[in-house]
Amino acid sequence: MLIGLLSATPVVAQSEELLPEGLDISFKLIPGVTVVGMMLLFLGVGYLYKVANTGDMWVAGRSIGNVENGMAIGANWMSAASYLGMAAVIALSGVYGLAYVVGWTTGYFILLIFMAAQMRRFGKYTAPDFVGDRFNSDAARALAAVTTFLIGFVYALGQARGMGLVGMYVLGDITAVVPLGGLSAYQAMMTLFMLITIGYLALSGMLGATKNMVLQYTILIVAFLAGLLVTGWSAGYSTVLPQIEYGMLINDLSAEFSDPFAGGSYYLWIATCFSLVFGTCGLPHVLVRFYTVQNERVARWSCTWGLFFICLLYLSAPAFAAFGTALYGDQIGAVYGDPGMTGAAGDVIVVLATQLAGLPTWLVGLVAAGGIAAAVATTAGLFIAASSAISHDIYANIINEDATQRQQVLVGRLSIIAIGVLTIIFALDPQQPIAALVGFAFSLAAIVLFPMFFLGLWWENANRQGALAGMVSGLVLWFIPMLNEGNFGLVNGGDGWGIELLTTWMPAIGSALVATPLVLAIMIVVSIVTDEPPERTKMMVRQCHSPDPMPKDKTAADIVAEKTHKTPPADD
């Protein structure tokens, strides 16, 4: 089951039913209120902001400062994967888990030097819009939309798993009260929180409350850092700087925690890290942040600030993992070996650590609520992106060009329900930990979308045929290792094909190391042997690199249209 990710790991026991051992599973009022309160606060403040400045949000609103935008980047980044999954993978797989810390932070530098400012100048920020405009192709737009949908779905699986597991701490085993047709405690809780997510989505839609990212970031980081600080303090591991002080603890932990290749081979480390780095540069919800700034200088500095805010979390997660591992070893049993810590307990290690440190329920509840709120808010965002890809880019652009607003909204809603149901079904029995599930989405972004953005911005001769060939082969290349390892349970009832060679050299979690260069090569070769793109497209790319300032409400296409005294293309 875990062959792909943990092939070189000592067996990590995965119980049939997802039940984090050691976690106090019971109904708790205060944590429950905290979860609801946090989400209502996100909605409420978002709504107030909307009331405060109506109207020209799109145009005039494109002027957010460095720090605010940096925090928004941080908030976008804070999903269950960062909040829960990263400490989990570090606790379970030791140094291999650090590939996630490195991949999910250092990727921002690549994004900064190669794409942030150029993206801002191009002015198209969703993957389908960018690909459609840059490569003048509806087919390319549709492929990008399908990819966006898939990314949202795979990413959401990890979030759903996180909600279900942490939800059990907050609300207990609801199947003990209301039997739900044989669902396990995890399954019932995951389903419940997915329904809450859909409700959150609907509410924020009705209120028009765009998430207040600054507030969201602040609440989540405070919950996480306070939990870490108090845990370290009360367990006697650290005083004021747990992010450094956990170093003294490492030698007391089992060797697996810090042995270089105990949790995964060198190749697997590099492949995973590579996938996460370039996935960062291809993820639509990351790139969108550069559209919201007033100029390229702010794009650059807010990317830098974003990395700073992300580092606050990412330098702390290993400390949480170390404390959790130590407490688990003291109070529950050996962390590694057989039976060892289960994947389920790993995924809640952040909550488990605070609980085992004997902290009061409200404080553990705050940490748990942070994890759930991060998962719910991220999932809501992903679902919106996925549904707009379907309703706007596929339905209104391709299937029914005369679609009315009503029809589009209807299709959008239906696709949210569809992706919600899909997520619930596939998250009933997730075979991988949170971090790996989300990692698959990064592989996909790195393989299919990153080459489009990168070559699209940096090589004017990249053309439609190249993009189409690249995206199609990219999707195929992503699916091969996924199916080989039996993810989604689609092949051989979840065993996959199990081709040894592929599992070793093209693991799903790090498939981008092989596939991204391949896709880049395919795109380059096909672009060279086919016709060059039209002059207008080339000029758009050139405009992205000009050092001259651009007015903030203009896209590269507008400038080119003005220059050539033509109207912008009515359709791509």
What residues between 131 and 170 interact with another protein by CB under 8 A?
none
Show the tokens assigned to 65: 């400062």
Q: Give 17-57 as a DSSP string.
A: S---TT---S--HHHHHHHHHHHHHHHHHHHHHHHHS-S-T
Min CB(290)–another protein separation in Å: 11
What residues between 292 and 311 interact with another protein by CB under 8 A?
292, 294-298, 300-301, 303-304, 307-308, 311
How many residues line the site for another protein (CB under 8 A)? 109
What residues between 551 and 570 interact with another protein by CB under 8 A?
551-554, 559-560, 562-563
254 binds another protein (CB under 8 A): no
Min CB(68)–another protein separation in Å: 5
Which of 77, 83, 122, 125 lies at the binding interface for another protein (CB under 8 A)?
A: 125
Q: Which helix (H) or strand (E) holds 179?
A: none
Residue 449, C-beta contacts closer than 8 angstroms, at least 6 positions apart: 127, 131, 144, 147, 282, 283, 284
7 binds another protein (CB under 8 A): no
Which of 1, 2, 19, 106 lies at the binding interface for another protein (CB under 8 A)?
A: 106
First to last CA, the chain: 44
Min CB(169)–another protein separation in Å: 27
Show the tokens assigned to 56: 């020209």
343 binds another protein (CB under 8 A): no
Which of 77, 83, 217, 291 lies at the binding interface for another protein (CB under 8 A)?
A: 291
360 binds another protein (CB under 8 A): no
What residues between 15 and 54 interact with another protein by CB under 8 A?
46, 49, 52-53
549 binds another protein (CB under 8 A): yes
Cα separation, 447 vs 470, whole angstroms: 9
- Cβ neighbours around 360 below 10 Å, total: 11
275 binds another protein (CB under 8 A): no
Residues 481, 99, 127, 193: is their CA dihedral positive or negative?
positive
Which range in 228-236, 265-273, 470-478, 513-521 contacts another protein by CB under 8 A? 265-273
Q: Give 348-382 as a DSSP string.
A: THHHHHHHHTT--HHHHHHHHHHHHHHHHHHHHHH
Tell me which residue has tokens 């911005």.
457
Note whether 30 and 366 are within 8 A (CB): no
Which range in 323-331, 358-366, 508-516, 548-556 contacts another protein by CB under 8 A? 548-556
Note whether 119 and 287 are within 8 A (CB): yes
Min CB(363)–another protein separation in Å: 26
What residues between 190 and 219 interact with another protein by CB under 8 A?
204-205, 208-214
512 binds another protein (CB under 8 A): no
Note whether 258 and 95 are within 8 A (CB): yes
For another protein, which is the closer residue by CB, 6 or 313? 313
Which range in 3-11, 445-453, 504-512, 538-546 contacts another protein by CB under 8 A? 538-546
Q: 331: number of CA atoms within 13 Å, CB side?
A: 17
Note whether 307 and 332 are within 8 A (CB): no
For another protein, which is the closer residue by CB, 304 or 530? 304
Which range in 174-182, 231-239, 506-514, 550-558 contacts another protein by CB under 8 A? 550-558
Residue type at 499?
Answer: I
